[in-house]
């Protein structure tokens, strides 16, 4: 099979198209032939090793100190099951599925094996493979942070970085959960964020949300630009700051904030839960959630897709299609 492999950290041109052995599913696995995958901000950070402040050494320990331990990037996919292991009971060959590879990655390839009990679900019938491939990263991340942040109906939530993969998912999910949603993004993306269900939008190039006098029950920062020291004045007593992109100083502040104030910081890697994937599929089929796709690239153009993600200009998701 063809796969894009990287053997050293760096710019997008470290990626090389190679021919590898086609994987064989274990007894509890399915073999998926990919129709689409994505390039996310997470792929960019892992490839380049550009991590939030203080996490570079920790990332090297987790990912491979001198070279990548997992040489194939990519966390999301949509495709067709080609074969199943002898103990698989819930899926069969021919099923159209989507999946989240998560920390195991490996989705920038023509084939991938997934455990039946892993982050795998049937594709919503009303979504294209391109859309289904983009369901998981932003959707599961936003769901996990909202759950840990105990978001409630009627609460005021601000989403900083509302036009990215996690941000566009968070706006739709917060709206579905009955929150009053404010999205912060650039002027070019205001209408798009409003169309996703935001009740209010703020152009960060014109207005600083931390200085406008508004306070919120929940602030979600997906951009890494609203740490606690900047956002605390915009949090109500009992408010929660959800740091999707947190540095080490933010994490070290968690116990201090908890002990000395009524507020809370939620940070750390989002949990991987199959029930979240099934929930997103249900919402998509009911018309309550739909991934935003900015651009599509052919599989052979994956280096260009990485370059575009690195530019910081993407809106929603960047999808890579396989023939």
The domain that holds 78 is classified in CATH as 3.90.180.10
Q: Is 307 left (phi over 0), alpha (psi -120 to 50) or beta?
A: alpha
User: Is 145 within the bounds of a domain?
Assistant: yes
User: Is 253 within the bounds of a domain?
Assistant: yes
- Per residue in 243-256, pLDDT (tens digit) is 999 999 999 999 99
Looking at the structure, do residues 60 and 149 belong to the same domain, yes or no? no
The structural domain count of the chain equals 2
Looking at the structure, do residues 131 and 205 belong to the same domain, yes or no? no
Residue 45, pLDDT score: 96
Residue 46 has pLDDT above 90, yes or no: yes
Looking at the structure, do residues 44 and 126 belong to the same domain, yes or no? yes
Q: Please identify, among 266, 282, 311, the residue that sits at the C-terminal boundary of a domain.
A: 266
**What does pLDDT average to over the chain?**
96
- Per residue in 278-289, pLDDT (tens digit) is 999 999 999 999
Residue 323, pLDDT score: 78
User: Is 276 within the bounds of a domain?
Assistant: no
Mean pLDDT, range 125-140, rounded to an integer: 97
User: Is 272 within the bounds of a domain?
Assistant: no
- CA-nearest of 115, 118, 100 to 40 is 100
313/308 Cα distance (integer angstroms) = 7
Residue 291 has pLDDT above 90, yes or no: yes
DSSP per position, 186-213: -GGGHHHHHHTT-SEEEETTT--GGGSS
The range of the structural domain enclosing residue 11 comes to 2-135+291-321
User: Is 142 within the bounds of a domain?
Assistant: yes
Mean pLDDT, range 84-106, rounded to an integer: 96
User: Is 234 within the bounds of a domain?
Assistant: yes
Looking at the structure, do residues 44 and 149 belong to the same domain, yes or no? no
Looking at the structure, do residues 174 and 61 belong to the same domain, yes or no? no
Residue 13 buriedness (CB in 10 A; 0-12 / 13-18 / 19+): exposed
Looking at the structure, do residues 236 and 124 belong to the same domain, yes or no? no
Q: Please identify, among 249, 266, 283, the residue that sits at the C-terminal boundary of a domain.
A: 266
- Per residue in 175-193, pLDDT (tens digit) is 999 999 999 999 999 999 9
Residue 203, pLDDT score: 97
139/276 Cα distance (integer angstroms) = 8
The b/e string for 55-74 (b: 16+ C-beta within 10 A; e otherwise) is beeebeeebbeeebeebbbb
User: Is 303 within the bounds of a domain?
Assistant: yes
Looking at the structure, do residues 118 and 145 belong to the same domain, yes or no? no
Residue 11 has pLDDT above 90, yes or no: yes
Looking at the structure, do residues 116 and 146 belong to the same domain, yes or no? no
Looking at the structure, do residues 255 and 310 belong to the same domain, yes or no? no
- Are 43 and 53 a contacting pair, CB within 8 Å? no
Residue 27 has pLDDT above 90, yes or no: yes
Q: Give the three-state DSSP class for 125.
A: coil
Residue 169, pLDDT score: 98
CATH number of the domain residue 240 falls in:
3.40.50.720
Q: Please identify, among 266, 281, 302, the residue that sits at the C-terminal boundary of a domain.
A: 266
Looking at the structure, do residues 148 and 118 belong to the same domain, yes or no? no
Main-chain phi, psi angles of 135, to 5 degrees: -75, -35
User: Is 286 within the bounds of a domain?
Assistant: no
Residue 124 has pLDDT above 90, yes or no: yes
Mean pLDDT, range 215-229, rounded to an integer: 96
Looking at the structure, do residues 129 and 182 belong to the same domain, yes or no? no
* % of the chain with per-residue pLDDT over 90: 95
Looking at the structure, do residues 156 and 127 belong to the same domain, yes or no? no
Mean pLDDT, range 12-29, rounded to an integer: 98
């Amino acid at each position: 099979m063809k796969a894009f492999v990287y053997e050293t950290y760096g710019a997008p041109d470290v990626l090389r198209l190679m021919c590898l052995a086609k994987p064989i599913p274990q007894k509890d696995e399915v073999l998926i032939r990919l129709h689409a995958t994505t390039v996310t901000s997470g792929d960019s950070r892992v490839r380049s090793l550009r991590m939030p402040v203080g996490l570079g050494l920790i990332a090297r320990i987790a990912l491979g100190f001198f070279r990548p331990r997992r040489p194939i990037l990519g966390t999301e996919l949509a495709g067709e099951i080609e074969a199943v292991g002898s103990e698989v009971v819930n899926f069969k060959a021919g099923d159209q599925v989507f999946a989240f590879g998560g920390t195991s990655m490996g989705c920038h390839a023509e084939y991938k094996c997934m455990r039946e009990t892993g982050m795998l679900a049937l594709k919503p019938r009303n979504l294209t493979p391109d859309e289904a491939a983009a369901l998981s990263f932003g959707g599961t991340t936003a769901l996990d942070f909202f759950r840990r942040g105990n978001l409630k109906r009627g609460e005021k939530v601000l989403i900083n970085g509302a036009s990215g993969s996690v941000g566009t998912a968070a706006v739709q999910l917060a709206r579905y959960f009955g929150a009053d949603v404010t999205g912060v993004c650039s002027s070019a993306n205001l209408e798009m964020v409003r169309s996703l269900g935001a009740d209010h939008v703020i152009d960060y190039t014109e207005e600083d949300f931390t200085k406008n006098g508004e306070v919120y029950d929940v602030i979600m920062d997906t951009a890494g630009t609203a740490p606690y020291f900047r956002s605390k004045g915009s949090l109500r007593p009992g408010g929660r700051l959800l740091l999707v992109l947190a540095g080490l100083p933010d994490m070290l502040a968690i116990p201090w904030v908890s002990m000395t104030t009524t507020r809370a910081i939620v940070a750390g890697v989002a949990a991987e839960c199959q029930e979240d994937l099934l929930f997103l599929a249900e919402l998509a089929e009911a018309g309550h959630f739909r991934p935003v796709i900015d651009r599509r690239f052919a599989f052979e153009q994956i280096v260009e897709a990485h370059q575009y993600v690195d530019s910081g200009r993407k809106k929603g998701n960047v999808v890579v299609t396989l023939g």
